[in-house]
């Protein structure tokens, strides 16, 4: 009975330790992304001039944020935006595989010495920084590291207390597999892949493997087979997540899987000599087996990258052949360019996706305004009706885009975000509301013109010319708005937008005064004057909405 209780206690400690480890890894990764996310995104967009720099960029970004998934998601977003080619994305993903090996070294450090001695002072420092608002993210990063190492330390101690290396049942189980058998290697490879898919954490599987190897229960050959399986298992997860995403997202995820499967295939051919070489390089002894696993993980990914980096164009062709372009039966009015609901998103990167989508929304409402301007010059009823219907559909689409982005931002807001990112989310919610109002105003202008045509009210060349001048100013304001939306907030001022707004306000007042005089002098009737004034006022309101968008973008 006592033994049963001891095993139950050990099992609960094991599960709890793994929970701490996974939570600590996640907290550390999210904090790193908050600290370095924006600058790393710029590095990712720029430092990809060729396959080697792309690979090095993937190594650096993944090592910095401790998440190959985060790097893959960022890469896919840039491919969708046309900032990266698929070939560049493949080289970055290769680098991400090397960068993620740093996780194995962190695990190895936790198993090589007793880290719990330094954990509690780190907790104290982290808590102090968390309560100091400016250093909060740094505090969260240290807190994540402390939890991670506490989990590792507890896991290591639990493994020692369980005496797995002296347990006959455990030893007999692993001894029943021939370490020199190809079938054994394949079986443990499969087990590693399935375990990773089940627990959704390659770090947890790596930790389990290290505890089994370090205790002497699991032979190193089987342990390394588990690590190879974990490499494939983690790519299956991202491929399943990308099933509902764009073609480019699925191609990037498949390229990741192809890279790892190819590596495992050639590794199986040279498995025992390669493992023996790594063991000789590190040195024997059970206490070094966690280091052996980390070294193998790094050497394997380095070697695989060195082999495949020269065949990026060929990999691109294979990926494009396997993942064909999605057939588009009918292009709907609503099409999200940057928001990828299928891929697992990290909060800080999801905000970038939403920001790009909001900028695309800004361009869309300006294109809609271009239709309105064109409508002013159309006199043929059939052509007018077709264009008016397009504007009507576009107005419905802008409503849906606002809802899509707002829902996406609400989901992002449910995660742990930095104060700066929370403010960005609030500003974007205001931006999309004002952009939708611009869409409404475009439709209102179109309806006014439709009313004019239906009632056969002619503005005449003079009024049309004045309206075109004011529309040109409104379009100028929309162009400047989109310049601001695509730029960096700290590099852009309100000055130009304010100047255009002043011009619009002055012109509105001038045209209203002229209209009163013209109606009083019977140059045209009151009904024409009313419609004309409505359009002038609506154009001025549209200019106000543009100012509101720019203010929200800049943070005023």
31-48: pLDDT as tens digits: 776 776 556 556 655 555
Is the per-residue pLDDT at 201 higher than 80?
no
Among candidate residues 130, 125, 109, the one with its CA nearest the CA of residue 21:
109
User: pLDDT band for position 545 (50/70/90)?
Assistant: very high
Structural domain total, the chain? 2
Mean pLDDT of 245-268: 84
User: 265 phi and psi, to 5 degrees?
Assistant: -60, -50
Which position has the higher pLDDT, 255 or 18? 255
Query: Max alpha carbon distance in the chain (Å)?
Result: 108
Q: CB burial class (10 A; 0-12, 13-18, 19+) of residue 293?
A: buried
User: pLDDT band for position 1 (50/70/90)?
Assistant: very low
Q: How far apart are CA 496 and CA 119, in angstroms?
A: 53
Helices 289-308 and 202-214: crossing angle, nearest 10°?
130
pTM of the model: 0.67
Q: Are residues 375 and 458 in the same domain?
A: yes
> b/e string for 268-289 if b means 16 or more Cβ within 10 A?
eeebeebbeebbeebeeeeebb
What is the total residue count of the chain?
556
Q: Are residues 33 and 127 in the same domain?
A: yes
Q: What is the pLDDT at residue 4?
A: 59
CB half-sphere exposure, 380, CA atoms < 13 A: 5
Q: How far apart are CA 543 and CA 475, in angstroms?
A: 9
Q: Are residues 397 and 303 in the same domain?
A: no
Q: Are residues 252 and 358 in the same domain?
A: no
Q: Are residues 374 and 480 in the same domain?
A: yes
Q: Does 341 reside within a domain?
A: no
Is the per-residue pLDDT at 232 higher than 90?
no
Is the per-residue pLDDT at 487 higher than 90?
no
Q: Does 155 reside within a domain?
A: yes
Q: Are residues 16 and 50 in the same domain?
A: yes
Among candidate residues 419, 358, 398, 410, the one with its CA nearest the CA of residue 553:
358
The DSSP string of 220-281 is HHHHHHHHHHHHHHHHHHHHHHTTTS-HHHHHHHHHHHHHHHHHHHHHHHTHHHHHHHHHHH
Q: What is the pLDDT at residue 281?
A: 83
Q: CB burial class (10 A; 0-12, 13-18, 19+) of residue 525?
A: exposed
Token digits of residue 160: 């020692």
Domain boundary among 260, 289, 322: 322
Q: Are residues 162 and 279 in the same domain?
A: yes
Is the per-residue pLDDT at 87 higher than 60?
yes
Token digits of residue 154: 């507890």
Q: Does 336 reside within a domain?
A: no
Q: Does 290 reside within a domain?
A: yes
Domain boundary among 288, 322, 356: 322
518-532: pLDDT as tens digits: 888 888 888 888 888
Mean pLDDT of 488-514: 83
Give the domain range for residue 217.
2-166+182-322
Q: What is the pLDDT at residue 548?
A: 93
Q: Does 37 reside within a domain?
A: yes
Q: Does 335 reside within a domain?
A: no
415-470: pLDDT as tens digits: 767 677 788 889 999 999 999 999 999 999 999 988 888 888 777 778 888 989 99
Q: Are residues 10 and 93 in the same domain?
A: yes
Q: How far apart are CA 237 and CA 200, in angstroms?
A: 7
For 23, 133, 137, the CA distances from 31, given in Å and listed in that order, are 12, 14, 6
Q: How far apart are CA 158 and CA 102, in angstroms?
A: 24
User: pLDDT band for position 251 (50/70/90)?
Assistant: confident
Q: Are residues 230 and 92 in the same domain?
A: yes
Average pLDDT, the chain: 80
The 3-state DSSP class for residue 81 equals coil
Token digits of residue 33: 């992304």
Q: How far apart are CA 556 and CA 2, in angstroms?
A: 67
Q: Are residues 209 and 352 in the same domain?
A: no
Q: Does 190 reside within a domain?
A: yes
Q: Does 426 reside within a domain?
A: yes
Q: How far apart are CA 309 and CA 30, in angstroms?
A: 29
CB half-sphere exposure, 256, CA atoms < 13 A: 33
Token digits of residue 528: 């024409």
133-163: pLDDT as tens digits: 777 778 888 888 888 878 777 777 776 666 6
Q: What is the pLDDT at residue 109?
A: 73
Is the per-residue pLDDT at 332 higher than 50?
no
Among candidate residues 497, 507, 511, the one with its CA nearest the CA of residue 545:
497
What percent of the chain lies above the pLDDT cut of 70?
81
Q: Are residues 467 and 500 in the same domain?
A: yes
Is the per-residue pLDDT at 326 higher than 70?
no
CATH number reported for the structural domain that contains residue 438 in this entry = 1.20.58.220
Q: Are residues 256 and 311 in the same domain?
A: yes
Query: Are the C-beta atoms of 95 and 55 separated by less than 8 Å?
Result: yes
Is the per-residue pLDDT at 546 higher than 90?
yes
Going 118 to 119 to 124 to 127, the CA torsion angle's sign is positive
Is the per-residue pLDDT at 346 higher than 70?
no
Q: CB burial class (10 A; 0-12, 13-18, 19+) of residue 406?
A: middle
């Amino acid at each position: 009975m006592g033994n049963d209780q001891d095993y139950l206690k050990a099992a609960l400690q094991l599960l709890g330790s793994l929970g701490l480890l996974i939570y600590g890894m996640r907290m550390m990764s999210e904090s790193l992304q908050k600290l370095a996310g924006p600058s790393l995104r710029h590095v990712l967009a720029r430092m990809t001039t060729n396959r080697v720099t792309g690979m090095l960029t993937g190594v650096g970004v993944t090592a910095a944020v401790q998440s190959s998934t985060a790097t893959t998601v960022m890469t896919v977003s840039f491919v969708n935006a046309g900032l990266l080619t698929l070939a560049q994305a493949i080289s970055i993903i290769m680098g991400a595989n090397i960068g993620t090996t740093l996780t194995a070294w962190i695990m190895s450090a936790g198993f090589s010495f007793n880290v719990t001695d330094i954990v509690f002072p780190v907790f104290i420092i982290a808590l102090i920084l968390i309560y100091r608002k400016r250093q909060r993210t740094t505090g969260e990063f240290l807190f994540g590291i402390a939890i991670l190492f506490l989990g590792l330390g507890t896991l290591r101690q639990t493994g020692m207390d369980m005496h797995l290396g002296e347990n006959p049942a455990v030893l007999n189980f692993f001894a029943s597999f021939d370490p020199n058998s190809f079938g054994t290697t394949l079986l443990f490879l499969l087990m590693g892949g399935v375990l990773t898919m089940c627990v959704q954490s390659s770090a947890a599987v790596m930790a389990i493997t290290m505890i089994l190897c370090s205790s002497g229960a699991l032979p190193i050959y089987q342990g390394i087979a588990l690590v190879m399986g974990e490499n494939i298992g983690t790519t299956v997860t991202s491929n399943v997540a990308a099933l509902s995403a764009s073609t480019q997202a699925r191609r990037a995820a498949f390229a990741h899987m192809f890279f790892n499967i190819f590596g495992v295939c050639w590794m199986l051919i040279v498995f025992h000599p390669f493992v023996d070489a790594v063991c000789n390089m590190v040195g024997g002894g059970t206490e070094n087996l966690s280091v052996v696993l980390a070294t193998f993980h790094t050497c394997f990914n380095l070697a695989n990258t060195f082999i495949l980096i020269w065949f990026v164009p060929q990999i691109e062709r294979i990926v494009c052949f396997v993942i064909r372009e999605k057939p588009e039966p009918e292009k709907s009015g609503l099409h999200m360019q940057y928001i990828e609901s299928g891929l697992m998103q990290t909060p800080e990167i999801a905000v970038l996706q939403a920001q790009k989508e909001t900028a695309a929304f800004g361009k869309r409402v300006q294109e809609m305004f271009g239709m309105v301007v064109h409508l002013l010059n159309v006199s043929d009823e059939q052509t007018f009706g077709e264009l008016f219907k397009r504007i009507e559909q576009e107005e419905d689409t802008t409503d849906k885009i606002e809802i899509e982005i707002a829902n996406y931002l609400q989901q992002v807001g449910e995660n742990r975000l930095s104060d700066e990112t929370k403010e960005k989310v609030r500003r974007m919610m205001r931006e999309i509301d004002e952009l939708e109002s611009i869409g409404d105003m475009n439709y209102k202008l179109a309806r006014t013109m439709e009313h004019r045509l239906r009632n056969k009210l002619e503005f005449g060349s003079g009024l049309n010319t004045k309206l075109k001048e004011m529309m040109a100013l409104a379009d100028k304001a929309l162009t400047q708005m989109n310049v601001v939306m695509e730029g960096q907030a700290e590099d852009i001022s309100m000055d130009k937008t304010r100047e255009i707004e002043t011009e619009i306000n002055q012109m509105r007042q001038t045209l209203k005064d002229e209209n009163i005089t013209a109606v009083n002098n019977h140059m045209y009737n009151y009904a024409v004057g009313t419609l004309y004034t409505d359009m002038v006022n609506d154009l001025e309101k549209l200019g106000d909405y543009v100012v509101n968008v720019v203010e929200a973008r800049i943070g005023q």
